Structure 1
Amino acid sequence: MDRLTFFNRHFCNPPNIFVANNLLMYRFLLFLSLFCSLAAQAQKPGGVRGSVIDSTSKEGLNDATVSVVTAKDSSLISFALTSNSGFFEIKNLDTGSYVLMISYQGYPNILKAFGITTDKPVVDFGSIKADQEYKAMKEVILNSTPPVQIKGDTLAYNAGAFKTKPNATVEDLLKKLPGVQVERDGTVKTQGENVQKIYVDGKEFFGNDPKMATKNLTADMIDQVEVYEEQSEQSRFSGVDDGNRTRTINLKLKKDKKKGLFGRVGAGVGTDGRYESNASVSYFKGSSKLSLVARSNNINSIGFTQGDITGVGVGGGGNNNSAASAPGITRNTNAGLNYSDLWGKKTEVTGSYFFNNSNTNNTSSSYRQTFFTDSTLNRNQRSVNDNSSSNHRLNMRLTYQIDSFNSVIYTPNVSIQHSENDRFTGTQTFAQKGTQEYRLNDNTSSIHNEGNGSNWGNNLLFRHRFRVRGRTFSINLSNTWNNSDRDGLTDSKFGFYTQGIKTKDSLVQQINRTVNGTNNYGLSASYTEPIGRDKVLELNYAYNNNSNSNDRSVYDYNNFTGEYDLVNQLQTNRFRNNNESNRLGANLRVVKKKYNYQMGMAVQQLELSSNNLSKGAIIRQTFNNLFPTGSFNYRFARSKNLRFDYRGRTNQPSATQLQPIRDVSNPLYQTEGNPALRQEYSNNFTLMYNSFNMMRFRNLFTRFTFGNTYNKIVNSVTQLGKGVQLNRPVNADGAYNMSGVVDFGVPISKQKGGNINTTTNFNLNRDVSLADGVKNYTNNLVIGENVRVNYNYKEKLDLGISGGVSYNRARNTLNARQNNTYYRYLASADVSYIFPRNFVLSTDVDYTATTGLTAGFNQSFLLWNASFAHQMFKNKRGELKLTVFDILKQNRSINRNIADNYIEDVQNTVLQRYFMLTFTWNLSKFGAAQQGGRGGNQMIRMGR
């Protein structure tokens, strides 16, 4: 199927429902289709072809890299791989003089000059013989890197082939790569999965936070972007896949960026009191690397992944469909240091320290419908939140190579946190039976929480290789210790109604103190033994002990003394929980030329004990489980791969879920633990297919997953009267989920760097809950399609256009009134153009529309930002930029949450229009630079 046919099918004939719901969106994608079709048809008449054969055997050389570069300046024009017979063909060449370069491992480079003319647009070299005695031409091009390379299981992108605007970040670069997506919050996805780790030259950068690298490093530092699935430390050592894989990106720095001082600092002031300042400075010298990052602003620019803050719980869940911006307005200040080095010849160390302080203000309104068998509860709520937090985080990794057979890896980490939260809420709840609706209750509340927490973790891994290849032994010791305490103050007033008439007022005035502690330690060992040339047997053992304590003290207000000195016996409780497990397993791994597979089985005994110290009640449970595992990987060709995985696992209930106390700090929404909870058991299946055609620069990735859970811990909601609900965790069967994604990318023009990427995904989730003791199955289906086009023109114009639609459907077995269908449409465009005299104009537009939500929560808005910058001083080191955010003042944040037996629409405060003037200075003091061509396609030219 050619590109024109492809786009006509997908976009020129959209579904009727799509057109009916949003004509503007249709027109936008129609424009997108037209643009892509015109770009695709702009083909040039010239081409070159031939066959590469071995001069001795006369057989074709498969997968030889064939590149076409200009004879004038050695700029890369296009590339291809030879077929099984050694044939290659490169089309779309303009008239001019070129050099054909053929590279194949074990053979010298072959170079042949040729020209494309109007009279002779196609050059056929016939059979090109490759042998060890081949004499290169007088001027030799030693290296020319194609845009994408396959290196085993790694997909490597040449960063220089994907142009970005001046002073772009790594995040901007990743948006240009086919098969890579960057979400609005900065989350990076490759082939439909979230990237969990991003390395810099193979080393951690501020721990495991991927956003620290993408938001703080500049694109012009990067030589290659490597994408792969990283196995666990143990799997990489033993060669036996334990199924623990992490989607990973490694940023390889340019050679001339590995020695010297570089980075950038900037500051800006804006209207409405907006400000920002940031610095990202690194000093590299040999193996020593030191990086500093710091920023402070009140424009919601955090620059890292915000972790959980101890002591303040925030409710949520379900299918949270995020809107255009994060809720609230955040003032944030953070700073950190990252260090890596070699200490002597045997010790490698990496470490980082990070500090963050933030404050977020948010006003939100929500409408929730809670469904029961004979009625519906409708709740309107408005709340004002003020959250502040600070934390210190320290990570380290020490690797000591004792000798060629033994090594030790030690990874400690520590964090200290403090958080405060003030929440003011007004709520009204109505009961609906048929067409009648009447008020049940209303509530105004003021809640203050303040918490402190500390976390300490250690992991020590010893590894030993025997002299027999494939025979290994390793032992791992781990320990984590967490402690947190939270103090809370609640002052709430409740009004209760009968048939719409107020009958009762109630006050809740109390303070509470919660102290949590966790101590976990584990030991695991693995031994591998080779069986023949292509088989490895692994025996493994693991012991784990996890102890939790949860002490809660609640005191009610005493009107006689004016103090909080009345102990609330119902809510005060001391609770201990411990689970201890022993696991023994074996795995067999077989590796063949075209395929490999692994089969394994483990047996585990787990003892779970819950001790209610306040009531003197102890519950002990013992579970025996089998854990089968299996995987199969088949490689059709160098760049075509099929993989199947199966894993079984258990999940234990938390101390909070087990603690048998009723929390009535909010009388309308009470919670209670369940000490009789059993563990969950899950089966997870994954099927993946990955294909990359380097001759046509097309990539295809598909993934299908299925998982089901037995004894899943779910919520049981019971009505206690007058709109009061009790939530209690219970075990239930019947939950499963399945998902699929198809990601397809094609180039507009390989030499221009433009590409078209489509992503089709679906997710079907079946969850279980209980409403008044009746089991309810909720089926949530989401189907989405997204298209993105990137296009560059003469390194002046940088254009990105995307559009997408998602279909969301919720169905349940308890009450058809909960059934719901809605659509979300997204479209965006970002354009950057470099004018003469180093002026840069950039603008981005995001259009969001939603239909099918509750009245008043449907949205349709345009978020338009623009900036105009001037690069100044020598080597364009300085930049003065004027930015306008939300030009039309339409920014909004509306979410829909679907969970248990309710549907909820939430609208939050977002940042709206402001102007900002910033100045940025680029630091650049490197060692001796590598001579090379433009854009990272480095080519060293030599004389005779």
Structure 2
Amino acid sequence: KLDSLTSLRVTPNFSWQNSRYTSFNQSQAFTTERQPLNASRSDYRASGHGLSGVGNALLMRKFRRDGRTLSLNWAAVLNRQDSRGFNQATNTVYPNGNARRTTFDQQSDQENFANIHTLTASYTEPLSFSKKLEVHAAFSTNGNTADRDVADFNEKSNAYDRPNAALSNRFGSRFNTERTGLTLQNRRLRYTYALGFDVQQASLRADNQSSDSLVTRRYFNLLPNALLSFNFGRNRSLRAQYRTRINAPSMSQLQPVANNTNPLNIQLGNPDLKPEFYNTVSLVYNQFSGNGAKSLFAALNLNQVPRRIVNATTVNAVGVQTTRPVNAEGYYATSGFLALGRPLTALRLNVNLTSNAALTRGVSFVNDQPNRSRSLSVGQGLSLASNFNGKLDFNVGGNLTYQTATYSLQAQQNTEFFTKTLNADLYYQLPWRFVLTSDVTYTANTGRSAGYNQNFALWNLGLAKQFFKNRQGELKLTVYDLLNQNRSLVWNVTDTYLEDVQSVVLRQYFLLSFTYNLRKFGV
């Protein structure tokens, strides 16, 4: 604190990363008649390092009059990432049914730098006992540069010394926003409402230095917001909120250079992208008993996004895809969540029911044709939990999820499948300060491609010994994946193809750890 009315808080954070990445991909594509379309084998290796710095400074000032405040906040993010990758691939295409094979061996050097600064100011003035007015302003600048140099392998010199201009690029972008607005808040005993209105000016500058082209755009947005909440006594509340915001395209979405890490699915950026505009409506109801034993929580969310950034994919005669982001209308998403909890006193149990549902409608483009999509997800969960004298805790439960996706183009990609999970967690304090822990999760899949409807159990088991007067120290031996069944199964549904992915994951291993808890600090 600078004085009794003024405070300053500065929060710095720095981090350094060093990473290595290796992937091997093998894929095949077929026509609807099961004739070969293309095939690919690629080996990609990369290593890199990065330095990040995040800083935040908050200055707050209270005035003699109750409710009058002034705050200034400055936030900065600096991030630099450098990497080098090697991509070796063999691609086979089948024009007219005849195989044609191409190979390449490339080195890519990537340098990314991000420089983000945000300055916000807020002033509140009480208008009456229950009303206050907030005046706020914000300025943000988001600058990014990306340099990508790709070279092909030269067998004569045995080095990567043949520059590939088509895959190399130097690109910079800057997105600036200036936002000012007012918010009127009225707080009563039973209800509170707030009405706000912001005016935002934004500018986007995309500089493709490799082709000596510059794109500048300016945007003007009106951003209303509203809040209404009711308190029905101490234990029941209802909250409704409407918010708007814009979301700038990322550097990878803007940079107009081909990314051929997957040679059969080439990614391109689009410097003509516009920011997304989000309209969000949320409704939350909360109810609980005086002792917290019974509870009811319900939430409903609706998102509508004009100018949403979606994929536009072009597929050539042999199935090679080129994808670039574009803006499109027609995206809606709604989701709901319901949770019920109550005790079963006679059995010393707590039962919890959870229900969730989500519906999304959107559009993408395939060979310049709109592909309208609809996805639905519905889930139901049940869990039982108990605590016996603080020495034995357990939780058992299950969840069933149904998912479906339909498309206006390529109806053969319409899908539906079920995922079922069962779980059991145990915490048991044994004599002599020993603790036994166990968690088991069983997963079953149906409706997927052959070989991917796999069922497996993941069981982690641990035994710990606690030390010192207040059990602040703990030596623990844990066996992860006791049954050695862990696996990763992912089903990706895209605009143009279905992809079943089975990844090699870390299976059974042992971990010995020691933990000491610092529970009290002197001043």
Give the aligned partner of residue 409 of structure 1: 9
Cα deviation, residue 709, structure 1: 0.6
> 2:233 pairs with 637, 651, 663, which one?
637
Residue of structure 2 in register with 1:487 after alignment: 84
Paired with 1:776 and 1:763, the residues of 2 have a C-alpha distance of 20
With over 3 angstroms needed to count, the CA separation of the structure-2 counterparts of 1:431 and 1:473, relative to structure 1, is same
Paired letter, 2:333: N
**Structure 1 residues 449, 865: CA separation in 2 closer, same or farther (over 3 Å shift)?**
closer
Matched, 1:723 2:319: yes
- Residue aligning to 1:942: none
Aligned equivalents of 2:123, 2:462: Cα separation in 1: 59
CA distance in structure 2 between the partners assigned to 1:767 and 1:468 by the alignment: 51
The Cα shift of 1:731 comes to: 0.5
- 1:684 is matched with 280
Q: Is the 8 A contact 1:878 1:919 kept in 2?
A: no
Which has the larger displacement, 646-655 or 563-572?
A: 563-572
**2:400 paired residue number:** 805
Return the letter of the residue paired with 1:644.
A
Is residue 190 of structure 2 the alignment partner of residue 590 of structure 1? Answer: no
Task: Rate the CA distance shift 1:697–1:506 in 2: closer, same or farther, 3 A.
Answer: same
Greater Cα shift, 813-822 or 631-640: 813-822
In the other structure, the counterpart of 1:746 is: 342
Q: Distance in 2 between matches of 1:840 and 1:411?
A: 38
Aligned-residue offset at 1:587? 0.5
> Which residue pairs with 1:670 in the alignment?
266
* Structure with more helix by fraction: 1
CA distance in 2, matches of 1:548, 1:670: 23
Give the whole-Å Cα distance in 2 for the aligned partners of 1:727 and 1:710. 21
Cα RMSD of the aligned pairs, angstroms, is 2.8
2:40 touches 2:263 (CA, 8 Å); kept in 1?
no
Q: Please say if residues 590 and 598 of structure 1, whose CA atoms lie closer than 8 Å, have aligned partners that are also in contact.
A: yes
- CA deviation after TM superposition for structure 1 residue 611, in Å: 1.5
Partner of 2:368: 773
- Quick one: distance in 2 between partners of 1:511 and 1:795? 58
* Equivalence for 1:702: 298
Map 1:758-907 onto structure 2 (within 5 A).
Answer: 758-793=353-388, 797-832=392-427, 843-866=438-461, 885-907=480-502
Structure having the larger proportion of residues in strand: 2
The residue matched to 1:404 in structure 2 has which SS? coil
3-state SS, counterpart of residue 614 of structure 1? coil
1:690-725 Cα shifts (integer Å, max 9, x gaps): 011125720111100000111111111101331211
Counterpart residue number, 1:34: none
Kindly tell me: are residues 661 and 787 of structure 1, through their superposed partners in 2, closer, same or farther at Cα, counting changes over 3 Å?
same
Shift of 1:893: 2.6
TM-score, normalised on structure 1? 0.52
Where does residue 467 of structure 1 map in the other structure? 64
2:52 to 450, 455, 459: 455
| Secondary structure of the structure 1 residue equivalent to 2:232 | strand
Q: What pairs with 1:230-241 in structure 2 (closer than 5 Å)?
A: none
Matched, 1:693 2:289: yes
Deviation for aligned residue 1:515: 1.5
Query: Which residue does 1:430 correspond to in 2?
Result: 30
> Could you give the per-residue CA deviations for residues 112-150 of structure 1, whole angstroms, max 9, x where no partner exists?
xxxxxxxxxxxxxxxxxxxxxxxxxxxxxxxxxxxxxxx
Which residue is equivalent to 2:38? 441
User: Does 1:575 pair with 2:171?
Assistant: yes
Give the length in aligned residue pairs.
521
Alignment of 1:391-410 (within 5 A): 401-410=1-10
1:427 Cα deviation from its structure 2 partner: 2.5
Query: 1:421 corresponds to which residue?
Result: 21
Q: Deviations over 1:766-792 (max 9, x none)?
A: 232111111112222111111111123
Return the offset for 1:736: 1.5
C-alpha change, 1:479 and 1:561, in structure 2 (3 Å) is: same
**Residue 884 and residue 402 in structure 1: after superposition, are their counterparts in 2 closer, same or farther (change >3 A)?**
closer
In structure 2, the CA distance between the partners of 1:923 and 1:692, relative to structure 1 (3 Å rule), is closer
* Unaligned runs of at least 5 residues, structure 1: 1-400, 928-944
Counterparts of 1:906 and 1:811 in 2: how far apart (Å)? Answer: 20
In the other structure, the counterpart of 1:611 is 207
In structure 1, the residue corresponding to 2:400 is in which secondary structure? strand
SS at match of 1:745: strand
Q: 2:94: which partner in 1?
A: 497
Matches within 5 A, 1:251-400: none
Measured after TM superposition, the shift of residue 895 of structure 1 is: 2.1
What secondary structure sits across from 1:657 in the alignment?
A: helix
Q: 1:469, 1:715 → 2: CA distance?
A: 52
Distance 1:696 1:664 in 2: 55
Q: Are 1:767 and 1:900, in contact at CA under 8 Å, matched by a contact in 2?
A: no
Measured in 2, the distance between the counterparts of 1:919 and 1:678 equals 50
Aligned equivalents of 1:602, 1:871: Cα separation in 2: 55
Shift of 1:480: 2.0
For each residue in 1:27-85, what CA deviation from the matched residue of structure 2 results, as whole angstroms up to 9, or x when unmatched? xxxxxxxxxxxxxxxxxxxxxxxxxxxxxxxxxxxxxxxxxxxxxxxxxxxxxxxxxxx
Hey, what's the Cα distance between the residues in 2 that align with 1:680 and 1:822?
31
- Name 1:83's counterpart in structure 2: none
Could you say if the C-alpha distance between residues 727 and 469 of structure 1 is closer, same or farther in structure 2, counting changes exceeding 3 Å?
Answer: same
Query: 1:158-307 alignment to 2 at 5 Å?
Result: none
Q: How far 1:815 sits from its partner (Å)?
A: 2.3
Gap runs ≥5 in structure 2: none
- Indicate whether 1:540 and 2:165 are aligned: no
Per the alignment, do residues 780 and 836 of structure 1 end up closer, same or farther by CA in structure 2, a change over 3 Å counting?
Answer: same
1:546 alignment partner AA? N
Do the aligned partners of 1:776 and 1:901 also contact (CA within 8 Å) in 2? no
CA drift at 1:862: 3.3
2-structure distance, mates of 1:524, 1:880? 47
Q: Is the 8 A contact 1:451 1:484 kept in 2?
A: yes
Deviations, residues 435-482 of structure 1 (Å, cap 9, x unaligned): x22112222222221222112222222222121111122222232222
Check 1:444–1:686 CA distance in 2 against 1; reply closer, same or farther (3 A cut): same
Task: Check conservation: 1:440, 1:499, Cα contact below 8 A.
Answer: no
After superposition, the Cα gap between the structure-2 partners of 1:711 and 1:876, relative to the gap in structure 1 and judged at 3 Å, is closer
- Cα distance in 2 between the residues matched to 1:926 and 1:541: 40
- State the Cα distance separating 1:689 from its structure 2 match: 0.5
Secondary structure at 2:252's aligned position in 1?
Answer: helix
Amino acid at match of 2:201: Q
Q: CA deviation at 1:688?
A: 0.2
The letter of the residue matching 2:79 is N
Secondary structure of the residue aligned to 1:570 is helix
Report percent identity of matched pairs: 37
**Shift in Å at residue 581 of structure 1?**
2.0
Deviation string, structure 1 residues 518-547 (Cα, Å, up to 9, x no partner): 222232211111111111011111112222
Cα displacement (A) at 1:866:
4.6
1:656-702 deviation per Cα after TM superposition (whole angstroms, max 9, x unaligned): 21222233454322121111111110101110000111257201111
Which residue is equivalent to 2:122? 526
Q: In 2, Cα distance between the equivalents of 1:925 and 1:475?
A: 33
Closer, same or farther in 2 for the Cα pair 1:748/1:680, shift >3 Å? same
The structure number with the bigger radius of gyration is: 1
